[in-house]
Structures are given as structure tokens and as C-alpha cells.
Amino acid sequence: MKREDRKRLVHDEVTSFPRFAFRSKGYISWRRRATIGGGMAETTRPAAAVDAPPVRAEDFEVAARAILPKAIYDYFAGGAEDEAAIAGNREAFARWRFRYHVLTGASEPDLGLELFGRRLAMPVHLAAAATQKMAHPQGELGAATAATAAGVVYCLSTLSTTSLEEVATAQGVRWFQLYVFKDRGITTELVDRAEAAGYQAIVLTVDTPMLGRRERDFRNAFGMPAGFLYENLVGPLARTGPVDVGQSALAEY
């Protein structure tokens, strides 16, 4: 990606919609139809396409900033309070180094391993992330399909915008991330559904007894955009909508 292209990766100050986006089948028509909550306007124009694919991980973040409305980008990219944990995680990861070995006969390198009785192509898994259809119309099913093709684990979030049964059609190694709800009946039902759908592990989230104060979400009055649901839940739990500026529907949920 050329430097001048990077400079053009900015949001329109009025609409917060990008000036161009990566090509993706069905994406542009989906963006036209989507009505975004939190006080943002409906998408009314297509975005041009970027020809050059991302080269490094940071390029995906640049592309996401160009494609997504600000409130949705901030939801995916942001953290709690001053986001010190995000910065700390990146600093810690940057300290990892590959220890290479020479003259060891690496004619057939193999990154594969077995985990819980399943063969994986490499020690990587796609961690649980909620509401992926806000980023792409294929949502969690698209991510799970990609993980299956790569031979790695896909972990589905409880707060997914695709049902756990539909994601299971991607086959592959799949885990289910679980929150323990105050209503234990909801929790039990989710476990039963995951087991019936062939999920091989339950990933129990224990570090979120309450949601952190996500300041970006408060500033954006972020709520679930119209037309999206938490598909694994029912009733009032299935949706959180737009709220007044200075509040967060996600935190209220």
C-alpha cells in the first residue's frame, strides 16, 4: 500500500463513512442496506476498492478504519478506561522472538500439533469475538469457514450475530465461549446446544463479572445496529439498541 493511499484512509467528517474499501463479495450491497445505530446515518454510497492486499497485520487495522463507521471501528478496536491493557498486551507480544536452528534438517517443517484429541495445522486459534456481522455480512460463519480451511480452532462467542448451529455447518474444530448468566437456565441451555451442535470444548469466560468502562462506546453512544441480534439469545437479551449520547447500550446490557 502506497503512502499516499494510507493518507486517504480517513473518514468523512460528516458521515463517518470511508472513502474506499477492500473488495469483498456482497460487502458493498450489505453496507448500503445496513442502518447503523448510535446516531449514524444509513450508508448511501458505495466505496471504491483498494487493489493492494494487506502486507502485515497492522494493515488490516488501517483497512478496517477505512471500511467501518467510527462507532463500530471503535467497538472492535477499543478497550476499557485508558486502554492500558491493550497497550500492555502489544508491548508484551512484541517481546516474543523466534529461536531459529540451522543445519537441523528442516526439509519438511511441520507446525502441526494435537490438542484435546484433534489435529491442528499450527498452534493458532481464532479467539471469541462478538458481533462479527457488524464488520462483514458473513460474520462468524465466514471466520469459522476460514479457520476450517486453515486447519486451526475457531472459538465462537456467546454474543455472536450468527447462531451456534449455523456456525457449526463450517465443520472444523470449534469451541464455544460461554458467559455464566444470572439465570443458570440460560447457561445450561447454551451448553446443551453447543454439545448437540458438535462443539468440542467450552471456553468459560471468568474475567468479566461486569463490563469495563469502554470510553469510546460511551462517547459514541454505541448500541447494536438495527437488523443485528445476539442470535444465541432470546427475548430482551438478544438485542441492545442505540441510546443517548454519553451512554452505552452495551454497558447497560
Domain boundaries of the chain, sorted by first residue:
109-211
- Examine the pLDDT at 37 and tell me if it is beyond 70: no
Give the integer Cα–Cα distance in Å for 48 and 71.
21
Mean pLDDT across 60-74: 93
Give the confidence band of 247 by pLDDT, cuts at 50, 70, 90.
low
Contact predicate 237/211, CB 8 Å? no
pLDDT in tens, 173-232: 999 999 988 889 999 999 999 999 999 999 999 877 777 889 999 999 988 888 888 999
Q: Are strands 113-115 and 118-120 parallel, antiparallel or unpaired?
A: antiparallel
**Cβ atoms of residues 71 and 222 within 8 Å:** yes
- Segment 1-15 shows an average pLDDT of 38
